[in-house]
């Protein structure tokens, strides 16, 4: 007998029906299977989810289009992977539910190399169950790995968009993998969306990059559009005929972040791969130079000296390096040195640096003369203004009627870009009226349930942040600067200092006050 866990989208069909059918079939076969509707009212469900994943031998993930945009499913898969790395299980068994597009960014990073089963119609129920039973015995599903994309454009969040396809649910994070398919005008894929709201930041970023020899900083809390802004900078650079390389530090495997040498070698290899350099980094890494000099020399001799047009080097989520105090000052000091090199060697004028981050960087770098965060131009991403929400509502066909409904959605969501898009998607695709949306906003199975539950899972894993948020909600202040910056970077609170804070939006105020 094996122990299982079923991850699925709660308010979506056929997901719920398939989940229950798989549960019944596996239970009848003698397996012990957990599904979250077994959690009783009043139980601390974030802890139970983690305990059940830790106890599981396998995790069955039902992946419909709606499920791939679920923050809760993304987090459950991430937790399962972390637990598997520690204890060798659970095995992840993905089942595609009437969905054959490439997985979005987060899920794709974890599941693209895993065989999937395919459910296409109701008569496949028994076939899927047989395949899962066989996989429990053999360790893998019999389906294929990966799918082919027929995307011709990208949505506002970087998801694949086929011509004439219906509106897809908004992704919780921008998918930058498609940047590799963006090219100069006339390329096969373009970054375009009827739902994108142009910001002043986008215009200014283009102006800065056009100047050349610049360092541009993009700062903002979670889900305010940092990566989306970088994507547009990337496309603008390619449209100008510039070279561009995108490095996503959030997606780096832990092995590449072990020390300064491994992270810099990863960067060198990626740059070499994307720009097809004549010499590979191997030659430079065979010298007795230190890793900072190796990468700098490689950039100068093999990249910048050979480019006929500038290079835009975009680094997303660079604050992940802050978790490694043993080398973070050296890393950011190196980036600062590339900026300074422009004053001594014209070849470095061909390098444009773009860094995106959410942390208060100045607090974590010991020597400010070695920081790249106090140079160049800083642009900040923020929540939507009221007029931008009105524009986005118009782009969705005006499901919100009149000023009063706009006011009520602003009271609830305060311009949170992802949640505003989520609310409009629910209103249009599920014909959810504002009254019902507001009534169910704080429900775990409501329109924002996946988003809120993900935060609860993360807070359960970080008791310090959980207590800090509870304190902030009840006192409108944070006890320490560290608490303030952690919660603001996570997108949970807003404010300019720890003495005067507020929940980021009314939804967070109501939900977290009730549950913390």
Q: How confident is the model at residue 26 (pLDDT cuts 50, 70, 90)?
A: very high
Please give the model's pTM, rounded to 2 decimal places: 0.81
Decide: helix, strand or coil at residue 470.
helix
Q: How confident is the model at residue 299 (pLDDT cuts 50, 70, 90)?
A: very high
Would you kindly state where each structural domain of the chain is located, as residue ranges?
A: 3-138, 198-380, 386-439, 450-515
**pLDDT given at position 152:** 45
**pLDDT given at position 281:** 97
| 8 A C-beta contact, residue 390 and residue 419 | no
Q: Token pair for residue 337?
A: 């040195």
Going through 103-211 in order, the beta strands assigned E by DSSP cover 117-119, 153-154, 160-161, 190-191
Q: Which of 184-188, 190-194, 210-214, 456-460 has the lowest mean pLDDT?
A: 184-188
pLDDT tens, 433-473?
A: 999 999 999 998 899 999 999 999 999 989 999 999 999 99
Rounded to whole angstroms, how far apart are CA atoms 125 and 496? 53
pLDDT tens, 42-52?
A: 667 888 899 99
Rounded to whole angstroms, how far apart are CA atoms 216 and 342? 15
Intrachain domains 3-138 and 198-380 with the same fold:
yes
Domain boundaries 3-138, CATH class = alpha beta
Q: How confident is the model at residue 256 (pLDDT cuts 50, 70, 90)?
A: very high
CATH code, 198-380: 3.40.50.300
In which residue are the tokens 């040498």 written?
261
Q: Which of 218-222, 310-314, 358-362, 420-424 has the lowest mean pLDDT?
A: 358-362
In which residue are the tokens 């009627």 written?
401
**pLDDT given at position 45:** 83
Q: Hey, what long-range contacts does 498-503 have (CB within 8 A, 24 or more apart)?
A: 500/476, 501/472, 501/476, 501/477, 502/476, 503/472, 503/473
């Amino acid at each position: 007998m094996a122990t299982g866990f079923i991850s699925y989208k709660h308010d979506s069909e056929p997901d719920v029906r398939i989940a229950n059918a798989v549960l019944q079939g596996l239970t009848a076969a003698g397996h012990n299977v957990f599904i979250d509707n077994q959690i009783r009212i009043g139980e601390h469900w974030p802890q139970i989810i983690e305990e059940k994943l830790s106890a599981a031998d396998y995790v069955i993930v039902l992946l419909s289009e709606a499920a791939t945009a679920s923050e809760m499913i993304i987090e459950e898969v991430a937790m399962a992977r972390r637990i598997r790395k520690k204890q060798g299980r659970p095995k992840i068994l993905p089942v595609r539910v009437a969905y054959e597009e490439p997985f979005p960014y987060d899920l794709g990073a974890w599941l693209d190399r895993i065989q999937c089963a395919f459910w296409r119609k109701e008569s496949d129920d028994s076939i899927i169950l047989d395949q899962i039973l066989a996989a429990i015995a053999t360790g893998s599903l019999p389906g294929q790995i990966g799918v082919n994309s027929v995307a011709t454009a990208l949505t506002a969040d970087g998801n694949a968009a086929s011509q004439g396809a219906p509106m897809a649910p908004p992704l919780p994070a921008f998918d930058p993998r498609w940047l590799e398919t963006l090219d100069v005008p006339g390329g096969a894929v373009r970054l375009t969306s009827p739902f994108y709201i142009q910001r002043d930041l986008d215009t200014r970023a283009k102006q800065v990059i056009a100047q050349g020899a610049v360092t541009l900083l993009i700062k903002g809390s979670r889900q305010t559009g940092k990566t989306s802004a970088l994507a547009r900078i990337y496309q603008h650079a390619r449209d100008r005929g510039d070279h561009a390389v995108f490095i996503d530090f959030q997606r780096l495997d832990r092995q590449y972040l072990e020390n300064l040498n491994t992270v810099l070698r990863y960067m060198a290899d990626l740059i070499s791969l994307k720009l097809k350099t004549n010499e590979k980094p191997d030659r430079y890494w065979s010298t007795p130079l230190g890793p900072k000099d190796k990468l700098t020399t490689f950039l100068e001799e093999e990249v910048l000296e050979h480019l006929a047009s500038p290079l835009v080097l975009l680094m997303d989520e660079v604050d992940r390096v802050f978790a490694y105090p043993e080398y973070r000052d050296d890393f950011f000091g190196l980036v600062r040195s590339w900026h300074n090199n422009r004053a001594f060697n014209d070849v470095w004028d061909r390098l444009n640096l773009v860094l995106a981050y959410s942390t208060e960087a100045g607090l974590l770098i010991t020597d400010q003369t070695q920081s790249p965060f106090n140079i160049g131009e800083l642009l900040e991403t923020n929540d939507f203004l009221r007029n931008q929400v009105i524009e986005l509502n118009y782009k969705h066909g005006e499901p919100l009627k009149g000023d009063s409904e706009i006011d009520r959605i602003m009271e609830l969501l305060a311009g949170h870009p992802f949640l505003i898009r989520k609310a409009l998607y629910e209103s249009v695709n599920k014909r959810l009226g504002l009254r019902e949306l507001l009534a169910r906003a704080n429900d775990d199975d409501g329109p924002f349930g996946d988003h809120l539950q993900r935060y609860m899972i993360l807070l359960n894993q970080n008791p310090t942040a959980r207590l800090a948020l509870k304190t902030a909600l009840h006192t409108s202040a944070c006890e320490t600067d560290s608490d303030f910056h952690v919660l603001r970077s996570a997108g949970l609170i807003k404010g300019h200092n720890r003495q005067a804070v507020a929940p980021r939006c009314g939804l967070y105020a109501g939900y977290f006050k009730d549950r913390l």
